[in-house]
Amino acid sequence: MNQKGKLLISIVGPTGIGKTRLAIQIAQYLQTEIVSCDARQFFREMPIGTAMPDDDELAAAPHHFIANLSIQDEYSIGKYEKDALEKLEVLFQKHNAVVLVGGSGMYEKAVVEGLDRLPEAQQIHIRKLEELLEKEGLTKLQQLLKEADPEYFKKADIENPRRLFRALDIYWQTGKPYSHFLNSLKPKRDFKILRIGIDAPRDVLYQRINQRVDIMMDKGLLEEVKKLFTFRKKRALQTVGYTELFKYIAGEWTLDFAVEEIKKNTRRYAKRQLTWYRKSENIHYLPLGYTQYDLELLLAQEM
């Protein structure tokens, strides 16, 4: 299908900034649908800890790629790129514009730019890295990546084991650092792209993050994590909000300390997201306190 003239509106920004609200506002204004590129919200067993849209939000506009997988499913960014592009092709038959939203930078990049064409993961390498993670911890994987690819190490989400697995697997397969492949030719998209972010002072963002963690705990995050404890080795659960509470459940940390670690690690994650998005020059920013008029004015100028 020729998608020239069609528009993908990508809502980007750090966790806790209000992307879901903005995406729904735009979808309602344009009477269109939302495609999620939040890799954590794919997994149906993790609604509280991933701040998955609630029933009211899901009812406010059609959503895709929310709670569509189980933590026991194997899923890759390459598979997501294929699935998301197929979904967009269907949606563009009905709508002139579609909204993409999520804080997973690489997943957003996969849709708007395309992935670097890299070899498939070798499971023998992944199993070895999983064993290293279990026996020696995340620090060991970070050390290996820093030695193998210092350039990628500086900008990677080094708290995410999956990112480390992929970069080290590529290095072991090819003998070349992952960063070597990042500027290779990518397929061109034939739809237009408008990227919108929300701007807020760092201290305000951190305050919002701290409050959101407290709200998650009030909503039952600990009970959610307890139900997933037996699956704690699953890759989908190697993420902020879950790993800290697993340590509390295992008796390694107090609950208060675990909650403070969630807040601290979420703030760190947000800082890395801000660094990621600041490298892009094509993001149109709205202030945190934007009005409907501000939003409509931006869309009128850019569409």
Is 48 one of the annotated binding-site residues? no
Give yes or no for a contact between 9 and 276, defined as CB atoms under 8 angstroms apart: no
Provide the 8-state DSSP code for 119.
P
Tell me the C-alpha distance between 241 and 81, whole Å.
26
Give me the phi and psi of 97, to 5 degrees please. -140, 145
Was 18 annotated as part of a binding site? yes
Rounded to whole angstroms, how far apart are CA atoms 157 and 154? 9
Q: 254 among the known binding-site residues?
A: no
Residue 13 assigned ligand-binding role: yes
- The 7-12 sheet, strands edge to edge: 63-64, 34-36, 97-101, 7-12, 192-199, 283-287
- Chain length of the chain: 303
Q: Which of helix, strand or coil describes residue 244?
A: helix
239 is in an annotated binding site: no
Q: Does 66 count as an annotated binding residue?
A: no
Q: Is 189 within 8 Å of 200 (Cβ atoms)?
A: no
Amino acid sitting at position 98: V
Query: 15: annotated binding-site residue?
Result: yes
Is 82 annotated in a binding site? The answer is no
Q: Which residue numbers belong to the known binding site for ATP? A: 13-20
Binding region? 13-20
Annotated binding site for substrate: 15-20
